[in-house]
Amino acid sequence: MQALTNRVKVVERKPMSFLERMYLPAIFKGMMITFSHIFKKKPTINYPEIQRPFSPVFRGLQVLNRDEEGRENCTACGLCAVACPAEAITMEAAERQPGEEHLYREEKYAAKYEINMLRCIFCGLCEEACPKDAIYLSETFTPADYQRKQFIYAKNDLLIPHPVNEPEAYKKALGNKSNKEKVS
């Protein structure tokens, strides 16, 4: 029969020699291979102590943004909820009362803003849909929890710390969001 390719390897099926039948040289060879692995570099990263840097396009937990005076950016327009393919976002709008100007940037704000983290697929469409730069995806994971209802994040869980009152926490929460904008 003509060979179809020239890559055929003929397997030799001759009986084993005495040395091969003793198996001990082969076992010793195998043991040398396993021994050599002692000196190999381990690919594992010691997670809690050493954390790999996130990719600049990483999409983690959502954060509701404030402006530099600490006023909430969100105007409860609902574009994020419309954009959300998993329908994870619900909100209720309210009108800003006189005297609340230091809390909300514009005359309408979100009285209730909830994201169900069990539904969220972290696609980042809410961030893209937002006209007010009020929501963005940070570089943190959603922490594990024991109950389902704990995964419905209310506005207090999502809001970024106040930049004037708690500047350090604000900086930490901001992460390298500024870098992210440069990349995109």
CA angle 145, 149, 153 (to 5 degrees): 85
Could you list the beta-strand ranges (E) of 80-124: 89-95, 108-116
Residues in the chain: 184
Q: 95 has which bridge partners? A: 108
Q: In whole angstroms, how close is the CB of 106 to another protein at the nearest point? A: 50
Measured from the CB atom, the residue of 50 and 144 that comes closer to another protein is: 50
Q: In whole angstroms, how close is the CB of 31 to another protein at the nearest point? A: 5
Q: Which residues in this chain contact another protein in the complex, by CB under 8 A?
A: 27, 30-31, 33-35, 37-38, 40-44, 46
Q: In whole angstroms, how close is the CB of 19 to another protein at the nearest point? A: 15
* Residue 6, token pair as written in the block: 């020239």
Measured from the CB atom, the residue of 10 and 50 that comes closer to another protein is: 50
Measured from the CB atom, the residue of 1 and 32 that comes closer to another protein is: 32
Return the closest-CA partner of residue 131 out of 78, 54, 55.
Answer: 78
